[in-house]
Structure 1
């Protein structure tokens, strides 16, 4: 069963935008002053406005963002809004007509065309009826898949692609659902987190994170990676514990309102080991509060 985390429980307020433009708190609440020393030149964007005294204030609860002089707030409870190039993790819900429909927690299901799937050893050719009949040998209903958003249209239609060998079927791991606003964009969203966690993480910008035991890839296996259906490798009890602890660390970060990416995941994991915190207790208020303080002091 996947772990689902709701919006964070923000422990406090205060200034949210440092004078040098750096964010001192990612989460803001309605009416809270966005303090940047001198606010001359700052432009209110979506989710912000000018108060009567000229101060910049949020009009909704969410994640504060700044691009040059433009200040915006992304709501925490919004559905994922796809953008071209985003890496997402979704679940196949339908197979028909040379395409898969994938639930990526957006306003509507995304579409993965047969022509947009990487099949190792397959020459560049037009796909035939035989390929269409064999679609369930690649992905079937209920499968987890990592993909890239190829295009997002104005009517809400989302097209995915898995032409790269790093995308495709996901097996042998655990899911964590967090608010999409807390999924921090990275240069790469498919990473390995080192010791003591030793796990592989696929961080979808749609707020779906897949965690699995780290499996070194041989060059001979790279061509088959994430492409064809295969049984999940047997995991040891220690590997199960590491995956569960990593998922709990992700959930704790989300509950604390901390942007989720590999560095804070490893920090929260290491803190739980050092403090002797059991996995079920990592999502309880004492540890969540400690994670929030760690993120503040980082």
Structure 2
């Protein structure tokens, strides 16, 4: 074991995969000698050379178009989009090319070896264009996987698994917790399963569900609820495409209540998909309406970031309302 923060764990995962497979290459804006805006790719160019870790022009559509071509020809590209807010110029490439090449060619060629890394979310006073959580857009795309870690150990294991997966993966990193804390991370080569939720804490009264940095928010809210005698089961979804519905069902069968927390706006957020699926499967087990604690239906505010965030206090209040229903 080694102590690492989230950024160090991501860097370690990249080193691990690049050492194990010479076809793995990393590229994006400023990822080379500079190490990327958050330093996630520090020292990779020095270690593996400019042919396997290199800068690209400032063109997200070009980055993903180039990555598609590399993946379809047998390379294992890890493309970085510097902020998830700027992934939208590449949206056409991801939606209409990355996810569909296997289908349009009848399996003759594919982009299955492509991994797209991008930091997402608020909490860093980044304002409108450096704070968004666009994961729900990509959950609507058949042929993709969308993976979001919550801590350093998860980040390394999930990123290694994403790079080695036979499907294109969008790997979204919660930048708010890049350097927030350190955790024990195995130094060896290991993978965590994609599409499998992780039960962080067991409980009997209500199921709390989130992903990424919001899992910590649930833990804080659960500690507050515990003082009121409320037992919370906390689940980290980890992958929102595919998402582990069965683990959520089993938890809701037990608790009879569900609260979903995510940082993206409420309307059209991925919590809506989860809520619809759970009520269809677990309707007769529910003791209260499914609660959603999410971001607001506004552009991400700079001056009012604290008010926008679905924090532990809003979550605690929603837990109480659900239990009192």
Please give the range of the TM-score, normalised by the shorter of the 2 chains. Answer: under 0.3
Q: Which has the larger radius of gyration?
A: 1
What's the TM-score once normalised by structure 1's chain length?
0.26
The normalised TM-score by structure 2 is 0.25
